[in-house]
Structure formats: C-alpha cells, structure tokens
Amino acid sequence: MQLKLALPKGRLLDKTAALLETAGMGFAGYHEGSRSYRLRGDRFPHLQAKVFHEKDIPVQVAVGNYDLGICGLDWIEELTVRYPQSDLVKVQDLEYGNGDLYMAASKASGISSAQELGTRQGSWRLASEYPNLAEAFALKLRLSRFVVFPVWGAAEVYPPESADLALISQPAADRLSDYGLVPLAPILSTRAFLIANRNSWEAKDMAEVLDLLCHCRMDVGRAESQPASAADVPRPPAPEEMAEDAVWLALPDGHQQAPTIRLLSGSGLKIQGYSPLSADRRPTVDLAGVRVKVIRPQDMPLQVANGNFDLAITGRDWLMDHLCRFPSSPVKEVLDLEFARVKVVAVVSKELPVDDVSGLRELVRDGRGLRVASEYVNIADKYARDNHLSPYKVIPTWGASEAFLPEDADLLIENTETGRTLAQHNLKIIDTLFESSSCLISTASSLEHPAKRGRISSIIDMVRSPAALSL
Amino acid sequence: MRKSSGMRVERCKGSRDLLPQDMARFRRLEAVFRDCCLSRGYEEIRTPVLEYLHLFTTAGTLTPDMLGRVYSFLDWDGWSGERVVLRPDGTIPTARLYVDNLAEQDLAKLFYVENVFSFEETGQETRERWQCGAELIGGTRPVADVELISLAMEVLSKLGIEAVEIRLSHAGVIKALLSALELSSQERSEILNQVLEGNVGALAQIKPQAPEAQRALSLFFDLAGRSSAFMKNLKSLSGAALPGLGPGLDDFIGIAQMLDSLGYSYQADLASGRDFEYYTGLIFQLFVGGAKVGGGGRYDDLIPLVGGRSIPASGFALYAHQLMDLLGTEDLPARRRILVKAESGGAQELRSCFDIAGRLREARCVAELDLGGRREADFRWVLSVRAEAAPLLLSDRVAGERFEIASAAEVLKILDERCN
C-alpha cells in the first residue's frame, strides 16, 4: 500500500532529515539546496515523499493528498483555528523546531498588556503571517475595531508606523526587543509535529512508519540547540522616525535585493545597512525626511494602497496580483525598473495531452475539476475565470509550486526566467500571461501630497537616471 | 469537439431551497406578521445583506464564538483590510439603521422580514435563516416589553399555532447576581464565558462562600416560577444575602404582573436566559413542542454602543424556518383556477386566449394559458377558446357540466354561482 509523506523545506529541514535518517527512512535528495521535490527511500519502496513549503503541509494533509506530514504546530493551528473541521490528526509532538508566537506591539506605542487593547478607542492594525490566528486573537479580546494585514514575512518591522500590532514567531521573547517590540500576549508555543490525514489515520495501516518516527524523536529533540543570534542586530525604530510627513520607501528582501542594491548605488541614493547579510530591516538613507523599511515584495502593493508606504520597489507580478484582487486600488506603477525580468506563464505537466489553453478548456469539459496552484492566487483565479476553465479550484501555495504538478494540481501559474527549471521538472508552458520586471509603485495621493511630493519626485528622478537603469 | 456532459451542480452545503409549497407557507407567515405589525403602527424596513464586520465587533454584543462563525470577506475595494459580512443578526443592523437615519425620533417601531447568515459546521442545519423581527426603540418599560410579547403571541395565534410556551429570564437580575457573588476575576471570566455561550445554568454551579448566598442562588436557578409571586418571593429573600438585585427584580415583577393581568401563562426561569450579553433586561423565548420558534428582550445599551444616543430599546424575532414547518398548506386561501386553451391553436384563437385570461385575472382568478405539461384533470375549470359562433366552452370538471358562452363576463358569472 502506497504511503505519502509531506516533508518541510526551510527551518525544519535539517532536523527532519536527521529524524528520518535515524529512523532508517532517509531520503537521498532531502537536504538543503537540493532541487528534487519527489523522494523515494530504499528501505520503504511503498513510501513516497514530497517536499513542500511548511505552510502548505497542513492543507495538503487535510485535503488527503498526503497521509502524513511534518510541520510546525503554528501552521497547523493557523489552519484549524479557521477551519476546525479540517481532517487533521496531530499524531506526535516531535520535540524540535521550538519557537514561540507572540502578539507584540512597538515599545513606542506605550502599550504593555493585551488587556489595554480592549479599553482603547480606535481601530487596530494587525500584521502577521498568521492572519487567522491574528483574527482569532482580536475576536477573543473583543477588540471593537480591527483590520488584519496578512503578510508574507517581516511582520516584525511593521509596528509602529505600518501596523499597531504584529503576531510574530520568535525563538525567544527577548529577541523581540531587538525589533523595538514588547510582547503583549503569548499566542502559541510551536514545535514540529507529525500529522496525519484523518481518513488515513482511521483506515490505513501506517504502524511501521509511525513506530520508527515516534521512537526516534527523542534523540533528535535532545539535540536541539538555540539558534545563533544574528551577527548584525536589527535596529529598532528611532523616535524621530515617527515624523508625520516622512516619505516611506519600501525595499525588497529576497531575490530582488541584489539587483535593487545595484540600481540604488547607480542612482546616487546612499542607503546604509541594506544588504543580504544584514538583519536590519530599517536601513538609513542620506535624504532628509525619507525613511526606509525592508519588507517582502509580495506585501508591497497592499501596503502602498493603505498609505503605509509612499514608494516601493516590487515586481509587476505582485502589483498585478493585487490589482486582480482589488481592481479599484489606488496603487500604480510609476517606473519600470527593467530588472528581474520574468514571464508569468501557465504550466502543465508534459504528460498532459494539451498544448494551449483551449486544449485545457476541452479537457475540463468532462466536468472534472481543474486544480490551479499558484503563489499568485488572484492572477490564477482571474486567468481560470477569463478562460472559462470551470469548474476549477485555486490552491494557494507558498513557494516550491512546481512540486505540485501533476499529483496535487493540474495547472500552475508561475514565473520563469528561462523556462529551464520548469523543463527539468517535466513541465511545459502552454501560455504566457504577461512579462514582469521590477517596478517602482506609488499612489496618486502620495505623488500629489503637498509636503511629500518634492522628495518623492527626486527619488523617482534619481532611480530613473540612465546610470541607475543601465546597471 | 466533445459535447458537454451537463454536469450536475449541487446546492451549497448548509443551504435550503424553498419550493413552491414552502414559499406558500413562508408568504402566509410573512403576511400575518406584516399585518399584525402594521395594525400596531410598526413600520417595515429592510437593511442591506452586507454590513461592515466592525458594526458587529463594535456593538460588542456577539460572543467571540458567534463572530467566529460570521461569513466575512474582503470586498473588491477592501485593501484596507476592512471586512464585510453577510449580516449574522437582524437587531444590530436595525440599531445602525436607526442611528443612521431615524435618530431624531423618540419612538421608532420597526419590523422586518430578513435572512441572517451564520456558519454551522455539519452542514446539516441551514446556514441561512429567515427571521420576522420587530424592534421598539424608545418607549417606556415595562409596557414596551409586554407589547412585544403580545405582538409575538398574536402572530402565532393568527397562524393557528397553539400551545406556545413562554420562558422568561432577566439579564439585569443575572448581571446583578454576578456582581453580588464576589467571584475571583478568573472565576468570573470563566463563568461569564460559559454564560455568554448560552449556558446560564453555569451560574448555579458556583459555590459561594456564604451559605445564605449559596441557598439563595439555588432558589434563583433551580426553580422556575409561574407568576409574579415567584419573583416577589425571590426579592424578599435576596435582600441581605445578595444585595443589589432590587431594581432588576422590580422590573421583572412589573412585567410579570402585567402578563398575569393579560392572562398570559409563562415560566419564569432565570437559567433559561440566552444571548445574555446582548440583553440588559427581560429575555423571553417562545417554544412550540420543544422547538424554539422565537425570542427577544431588552437591550438598552445597544443604540449607544453603535454610536447613537442613550435610548432604551427592545425587540424580538420569530424564526421563519422553524414556524414554516408548523404551518399546513391546506388553509392557504384558495383562488379560482382556470386553464385557458386554444382549441385549434390558430393565431386568432391564441389572441383571444391572452385577452380572456387577462380579464379573468383582473377578477382575481388564476388563469393559466395551456402551455402543455399541465393535466386538464388538475383543474376544475377548463375554458376552450374556439373559432365558432359561441366562441367559449367552459367545462366544470367537478360537476361534469359544459357551458357554451360568448364572453369573459359570463365565465365569471358562472364561476360566482358555482363556487359560492
């Protein structure tokens, strides 16, 4: 009997690989830097594993695509707090990957306890990678008015200017003060968990694998060490940064960071502390009245729409995704920065007898639903709708999307530079939706703001200079 | 090209179709409810299905559990994170409507027939429910509370629903009890949470230090009364052991006395209080055969909570989805039904069919054109339109008679004679 196991990338990978190795269930391709997603062990030929972003694992197990999975309790709770009926069984605490989730506020806000939130007037803005847990927290505290900003990452840098509260995951509470935050309430202590699909648990004999995993967990757990503190301590917000009419610029982390650094150095904008080696999400710029934060490019359009930032360097793909969701959003592209060029494409498995979107349309006419996986949930939804691919479901993913085809999705909306990675995963492009590159985004209200527009246009001019764009 | 296989699309989980028979019952319920409200000077309103989530969080009157079941989402312009909801409740939007539009009125008597939405995880129960609600904003207590009970009872009586059980509780008394008990803050919040989730009986589990208080508590929650005398007895006993209960009990006694004098029988059972957080005074619930068919009460804090002035308010809702199942269809007012058919299907005959059917409808008949798919046997009256000297042939299929006639007026004359 086939048994399917969902394994995490990222922070739990090393420990999980060690656990599997100790249990005699090691998978050759399961290590940091590996490009293979589909794994098969020698000792258990009936055991298949696939590697996912940790956040995708509870969903994949709950919907029954996988019998077993390993992921953090935080992502399990993030799913079940919203969908308590999810078909998930928490099988075993694996005792590694410890961390804590806190609701935290900026020190500058003067708030020191969760109870104070309920007594203050006004609307609270909560930023988090865990929007469902954040909402449950707000409801439980009976906050009279609140909004939740779901973010892809870097929630800790949002308070106090871009959010009042952040629900963040930290190895230790004292790290919070490095960000200028105070913990208001512990939300959850997270650890790696072995989870099972409820139906598999009820009906499938998984005892052999469970025995091995559960007996080895102690050893791996004991080897837990505290993560080394970052060499470069992040800088908490200084009081003067709270100035009312500061111009806020958002710069990207991740893949777009290196080309952005090149662009900025060519433009003559001197930014200190903006480097992939730095944990500092608040670099400084040598322009008076301009403040910078480093956040995820995915989150920038929403943040600019809300006036938390006046300018941001992001990708057109994320701008489009935002506009598909919120067509009347005030965010617009003000300058094409022409780097990080990718195509956003529709992708299927090479095995699928389909060469274009009309072929795909034919294929779904038999009424079996199409599963569309994408990080660009709103672009994918619009693409499927506009192309009459009904009935379809969009499966949100958090990275490593190409691993979803063909077992766990039929169509993928993904970006690609050369198409080589897609081909390596036995996938083919059947349509190109649009070309994306980095761009500078803003809103009319920022561009026309009487106190800010001078500084904003000088930043745009510097970035627009041929010296910057040729780099 | 392959042909579409005509895929079957199912009804959304937890939703209910209302079929013609259901709608006949629904409309009858609605008509009786509207008529009773209008004849007491209440005015009909309809609030939008979509409201901001913060209306319900600001009102602070829905528990976290209820708010966790609200259908909420981001609208197409919701980039600010402001969520909208399918209204989970009829009263809070009515309070908002009052504050928005009618705030200068010292008395607003409003009613509505609206659907409310709340997630129910099994999908066995319907997630969309219809309510017939009445809200009385302003007005003096306790007569306003009694007026609402009498309105609800009038509707049920006119619908022919007998054996309605009225259960009364009082949020003012429960709240005063909670503060009189001097609980630790942890105990208090645990009890409060249980009570808010609907288990007022949890109060009876408290074991207070003082034995008098314990005995008093048991008298409050273990027994139910059948007249205002019960509340008076409680009041005489509570003075020393449970101070601060006076005003709540006086209000409760006033209402009960009025109900006594109007001849309503009821059960006064403090532990029956539901949605306790919502209410400030009387809470009443209506049961038929063990099923709750409606309820309401006083919520004097609600209008200020949604931004209005301090003005008392109370209201109730009847649960249409429960009541519909109690109504028969046989007593629905029958209208005379006639099938109108063209004998040969010629253009001239068809024109006459449309013409005559129109005239019959003006006289409140149900005149159906023959479109096929209907059996003549289902009609008592069948009217054939012909291209002959006597152009109309009316058949009475019950009496087995036929009439050759010339005009719609003659048809109506025969119908009147035969049907009365």
Q: Can you give the CATH number for the domain in which B59 is found?
A: 3.30.930.10
Same domain, B281 and B402: no
* CB nearest to A145's CB, from B58, B64, B77: B58
Same domain, A204 and A247: no
Residue A174 within any structural domain of the chain? yes
Q: Which pair of tokens denotes residue A186?
A: 């512990």
Total structural domains within chain B: 2
| B137: nearest Cα among B62, B256, B43, B32 | B43
Question: What pLDDT, on a 0 to 100 scale, did the predictor assign at position A116?
Answer: 85
Residue B374 within any structural domain of the chain? yes
Same domain, A83 and A154: no
Cβ-based neighbours of A92, under 8 Å, separated by 6 or more: A193, A194, A210, A213, A214, A217
A327 and B76 in contact by Cβ < 8 A? yes
| A454: nearest Cα among A249, A247, A266 | A247
Tell me which DSSP letter residue B210 carries.
S
Put simply, whether A125 touches B (Cβ < 8 Å) is: yes
Same domain, B36 and B106: yes
Residue A106, pLDDT > 50, answer yes
Same domain, A423 and A457: no
Residue B13 within any structural domain of the chain? no
Q: What is the dihedral of CA A195, A200, A201, A204, to 10 degrees?
A: -130
Determine the residue type at B327. L
Tell me which DSSP letter residue B80 carries.
T
Same domain, B168 and B109: yes
Question: What pLDDT, on a 0 to 100 scale, did the predictor assign at position B333?
Answer: 58
In whole angstroms, give the CA distance from residue B239 to residue A245.
61
Determine the residue type at B239. G
Q: Which of residues 424-443 of A touch B (CB under 8 A)?
A: none
CB A348 within 8 A of CB A375: no
Same domain, A7 and A92: yes
Cβ-based neighbours of A10, under 8 Å, separated by 6 or more: A53, A54
Put simply, whether B371 touches A (Cβ < 8 Å) is: no
B5 and A367 in contact by Cβ < 8 A? yes
Residue A466, pLDDT > 80, answer no
Same domain, A264 and A394: no
| B228: nearest Cα among B267, B201, B200 | B267
H/E stretch holding A48: strand A47-52
Angle at A11 between CA A10 and CA A17, to 5 degrees: 80
Question: What pLDDT, on a 0 to 100 scale, did the predictor assign at position B227?
Answer: 82
Same domain, B178 and B215: yes
| B297: nearest Cα among B317, B267, B323 | B317
What does the DSSP assignment read for B320-382? Answer: HHHHHTT--STTSPP--EEEEEESS--HHHHHHHHHHHHHHHHTT-EEEE--SS--GGG-SEE
> Residues of A with CB below 8 A from B74's CB?
325-326
Residue A228 within any structural domain of the chain? no
CA B399 from chain center: how many Å? 43
Q: Can you give the CATH number for the domain in which B388 is found?
A: 3.40.50.800
Put simply, whether B79 touches A (Cβ < 8 Å) is: yes
Q: Give mean pLDDT, residues B366-391.
A: 86
Same domain, A442 and A327: yes
Best mean pLDDT range from A29-43, A143-157, B276-290: A143-157
Residue A230 within any structural domain of the chain? no
Question: What pLDDT, on a 0 to 100 scale, did the predictor assign at position B100?
Answer: 97
Residue B274, pLDDT > 60, answer yes
Final residue of a structural domain among B299, B324, B349 = B324
CB-count exposure of residue A93 (10 Å: 0-12, 13-18, 19+): middle
Determine the residue type at A295. I
CB A147 within 8 A of CB B80: yes
Same domain, A125 and A55: no
> Residues of A with CB below 8 A from B57's CB?
138-139, 142-146
Place of tokens 């273990």: B222
CB A22 within 8 A of CB A220: yes
B81 and A140 in contact by Cβ < 8 A? no
Put simply, whether B123 touches A (Cβ < 8 Å) is: no
Same domain, A49 and A77: yes
Same domain, A331 and A371: no
Question: What pLDDT, on a 0 to 100 scale, did the predictor assign at position A29?
Answer: 87
Question: What pLDDT, on a 0 to 100 scale, did the predictor assign at position A231?
Answer: 45
Put simply, whether B121 touches A (Cβ < 8 Å) is: yes
Same domain, A450 and A316: yes
Same domain, B255 and B344: no
CB B44 within 8 A of CB B112: yes
| Range(s) of the domain holding residue B381 | 337-415
Put simply, whether B5 touches A (Cβ < 8 Å) is: yes
Residue of A nearest to B122 (CA): A85
CA neighbours closer than 13 Å in the CB half-sphere of residue A293: 31
> Residues of B with CB below 8 A from A85's CB?
121
Put simply, whether A305 touches B (Cβ < 8 Å) is: yes
| B188: nearest Cα among B209, B171, B166, B203 | B203
Residue A303 within any structural domain of the chain? yes
Categorize the per-residue pLDDT at B269 as very low, low, confident or very high, splitting at 50, 70 and 90.
confident
Place of tokens 């009618």: B102
B57 and A145 in contact by Cβ < 8 A? yes
Mean pLDDT value across chain B: 86
E strand spans, B45-160: 50-52, 72-74, 83-86, 108-117, 128-137
Looking at A54-197, list the stretches that DSSP marks H as alpha helix, in order from N- to C-terminal side.
57-62, 73-80, 114-119, 131-140
In whole angstroms, give the CA distance from residue A114 to residue A182.
11
pLDDT in tens, A46-86: 899 999 999 999 999 999 999 999 999 999 999 999 988 89
Mean pLDDT value across chain A: 89
Tell me which DSSP letter residue A179 carries.
G
Identify the weakest region by mean pLDDT among A121-135, B82-96, B157-171, B373-387: B373-387
Final residue of a structural domain among A145, A164, A189 = A189
pLDDT in tens, A319-376: 999 999 999 999 999 999 999 999 999 999 999 999 999 999 988 887 778 999 999 9
Q: Give mean pLDDT, residues A405-418.
A: 93
Strand order in A427-436's β-sheet? Answer: A392-396, A370-374, A411-416, A342-349, A427-436
Q: Can you give the CATH number for the domain in which A314 is found?
A: 3.40.190.10
Residue A233 within any structural domain of the chain? no
Final residue of a structural domain among A143, A166, A189 = A189
Residue A160, pLDDT > 80, answer yes
In whole angstroms, give the CA distance from residue A172 to residue A175.
6
Same domain, B312 and B344: no
Same domain, B248 and B203: yes
Residue of B nearest to A138 (CA): B64
Same domain, B343 and B223: no
Same domain, A164 and A201: no
3-state DSSP call for residue B318? strand
Residue B392 within any structural domain of the chain? yes
Residue of B nearest to A146 (CA): B54
A255-to-A25, A276, A314 alpha-carbon distances in Å: 33, 10, 11
Same domain, A406 and A355: yes
Is the N-terminal amide bond of A327 cis, ω within 30° of 0? no
Residue A231 within any structural domain of the chain? no
In whole angstroms, give the CA distance from residue A300 to residue A290.
17
Q: Give mean pLDDT, residues B27-31.
A: 94
Place of tokens 């080309």: A259
Q: CA of B81, closest CA in chain A: separation in Å?
A: 5
| A410: nearest Cα among A463, A369, A469 | A369
Total structural domains within chain A: 4
Q: Global pTM? A: 0.85
Question: What pLDDT, on a 0 to 100 scale, did the predictor assign at position B213?
Answer: 67
Residue B212 within any structural domain of the chain? yes
| Range(s) of the domain holding residue A463 | 243-341+437-469
**Comparing A240 with B243, which gets the higher pLDDT?**
B243
Put simply, whether A142 touches B (Cβ < 8 Å) is: yes
Q: CA of B279, closest CA in chain A: separation in Å?
A: 17
